[in-house]
Amino acid sequence: MSLAISAVDYVTEIKNGNITVEEFISKTIERIKKIDGKLHAFLSVNENAIIQAKEIDRKIKANENVGKCMGMPISFKDNICVKGSKTTCASKVLEDFVSPYDATVVTKLKSEDAIIIGKTNMDEFAMGFTTEFSAFGPSRNPWNSEYVPGGSSGGSAVAVSALESIASLGSDTGGSVRNPASFCSVVGFKPTYGLISRYGLISYSNSIEQIGPLTRTVKDTAFLLNIIAGIDSNDNTTVDNKEENYLNDIDAGVEGKTIGIISQMTKGVDKEVSSATKNAVSQFEKLGAKIEEVSIDMVEYSVASYYIITATEAGSNLARYDNIRYGFDFDLEGYEFNSYISKARKNFGPEVTRRMILGGFVPSAGHAGKYFLKALKVKNKLTSEINDVLKKVDLLVAPTVPILPFKFGEKIDDPVALFLIDFNTVTANLTGKPAISVPFELSNGLPIGIQILGKEMQDKLVLQAAHALEKTTNLPEVPV
């Protein structure tokens, strides 16, 4: 029995009785024990997973109703609340926090008999690109452990890529699902804003962040989306998807579609990434799509706008961490109210501290006009420009990340170099559009992903195009 199967194939294997849930879960846990000491994808592992697997096997044997996931091991980024489990956001500030409730995505997957195999590593409070900002140490790229796995959902990407979990849910504020998916050669999807409930996702930047799946195949993303998408009374930003079935017509292809290449996102990229993008475009042409180069001027300003908006929202969202009602073990005795809170908040890591300073600075009196209001105007104008372009083309394509995965420590001291990693991904977040990263090539053993972006609520078309591109590839198994 191989762990290198897709979620859709896993369900078939279980239904056909070729494997049991217990066998698969046991093997997955063995794998985690064997390799996660090195890769550090997980911050915690579910110790009851085998007991839960046995119960699902019993239900299958007894012909009782079993949910669509049939006991498949799924992991969650550690900023998604799972009742009774630690949810740390990879921060010392929440080191001892145990969530008293389930996020909506967790409730939905549990009700379909998914087994939560563990909680995955991330950059602290999802602020980062490499997992180097995790308070508990970074994750490592399974394709070459000297290299970063991307971030902030780096642990989720590593877990899926290294066969430690069939699928994972991460969060994408500026590329945090797609960027590590690209670096680790897995599929990463950021849906239309509001398609997936954010209830139970620890807030960083509410106006643009979304929960998104990381999977081995595009079909697996569609499979998960069928379960987790849709309106939720606990999240007023959710949208009604009319119970769309994302797996139906997944083979529709791109014949007759017009695909735009965003010129701003293909300039100044690594030559290997540029070559892969040209190859992907050529594949789309062979599949019958018409290709057009398009220009979206505001893309040049998107990263600055993104950082100003997210820092401002983070400054407000993270104000709640005073360590009084929940947090880490730090006695109140002997402290005055304000000095206690300041001392407790020293447990934030350096990147979170810097972004909160930024979040206090950019919207403050005297600076808001120069920074925050301009950032909001860029967001408006970018949305208007991309909507105009998407009237002429059906889909947009670009490299997911402009550069190849890089070594640990290489960029950590240069905040602007780190900012620019997100150059191609933040546009989808600022404009609420769906976007996916598809594994496409390897260059010297390092993965390159291609991003496909579509119109709001046309997530299905994005998945169809991604599936068509995925079928043209023939990538090797991960070398661990």
Partner 1 sequence: MNQLVSKEEIDRVAKLMRIEIDDHVVHIDRVQKMIEYFDILDKAGLESEELIIQEQKFEDLREDKHIPYNEKLIDKLKNYKNSYVRAPKMV
State the catalytic residues. Answer: 77, 152, 176
Q: Return d(Cα 298, Cα 381) in angstroms, integer.
A: 7
Non-local (6+) Cβ contacts of 405 within 8 A are: 141, 143, 144, 147, 148, 149, 150, 183, 446, 447
Residue 104 CB, shortest distance to partner 1, in Å, is 14
What's the 3-state SS for 211-275?
Answer: EEEEECCHHHHHHHHHHHECCECCECCCCCCCCCCCCCCHHHCCCCCEEEEEHHHCCCCCHHHHH
Q: Which of residues 425-454 bind partner 1 (CB under 8 A)?
A: none
Q: Which stretch binds partner 1 (CB under 8 A): 44-52, 324-332, 392-400, 444-452?
A: 324-332
Q: Which of residues 279-308 bind partner 1 (CB under 8 A)?
A: 298, 300-301, 304-305, 307-308
Q: Which of residues 393-422 bind partner 1 (CB under 8 A)?
A: 414-416, 419
Which strand (E) or helix (H) includes residue 384?
A: helix 372-392
Query: Would you count residue 3 as binding partner 1 (CB under 8 A)?
Result: no
Residue 235 CB, shortest distance to partner 1, in Å, is 9
Residue whose CB is less far from partner 1, 288 or 350: 350
- Residue of 2, 248, 282, 364 that binds partner 1 (CB under 8 A): 364
Q: 252, 198, 207: which is closest to 229 by C-alpha?
A: 198
Non-local (6+) Cβ contacts of 291 within 8 A are: 258, 259, 260, 261, 281, 284, 285
Residue 384 CB, shortest distance to partner 1, in Å, is 9
Q: Which stretch binds partner 1 (CB under 8 A): 16-24, 164-172, 327-335, 445-453?
A: 327-335
Q: What is the DSSP letter of 281?
A: H
Fill in the per-residue mask, 88 to 127: x = in contact with partner 1 (CB under 8 A), - = not in contact. ----------x-xx--------------------------
Query: Would you count residue 239 as binding partner 1 (CB under 8 A)?
Result: no
- Residue of 147, 371, 406, 440 that binds partner 1 (CB under 8 A): 371
Q: Which stretch binds partner 1 (CB under 8 A): 50-58, 116-124, 155-163, 368-376?
A: 368-376
Non-local (6+) Cβ contacts of 334 within 8 A are: none
Q: 246, 383, 222: which is closest to 305 by C-alpha?
A: 383
Query: Would you count residue 374 as binding partner 1 (CB under 8 A)?
Result: yes
Query: Would you count residue 361 as binding partner 1 (CB under 8 A)?
Result: yes
- Residue of 359, 399, 434, 454 that binds partner 1 (CB under 8 A): 359
Handedness of CA 300, 303, 308, 310 (dihedral sign): positive
According to DSSP, the β-strands at 115-120 and 73-77 are parallel
Q: Return d(Cα 178, Cα 79) in angstroms, integer.
A: 17
Q: Residue 34 CB: number of other CB atoms within 10 A?
A: 11
Query: Would you count residue 369 as binding partner 1 (CB under 8 A)?
Result: no
Q: Which stretch binds partner 1 (CB under 8 A): 243-251, 363-371, 445-453, 463-471?
A: 363-371
**What is the crossing angle of helices 218-228 and 104-111, to 10°?**
100
- Residue of 362, 386, 421, 428 that binds partner 1 (CB under 8 A): 362
Residue keyed to tokens 């007894």: 62
| Chain contacts with partner 1 (rule: CB under 8 A) | 98, 100-101, 233, 236, 298, 300-301, 304-305, 307-308, 315, 319, 322-327, 332, 335-343, 345-346, 348, 350, 353-354, 356-362, 364, 370-371, 373-378, 380-381, 414-416, 419
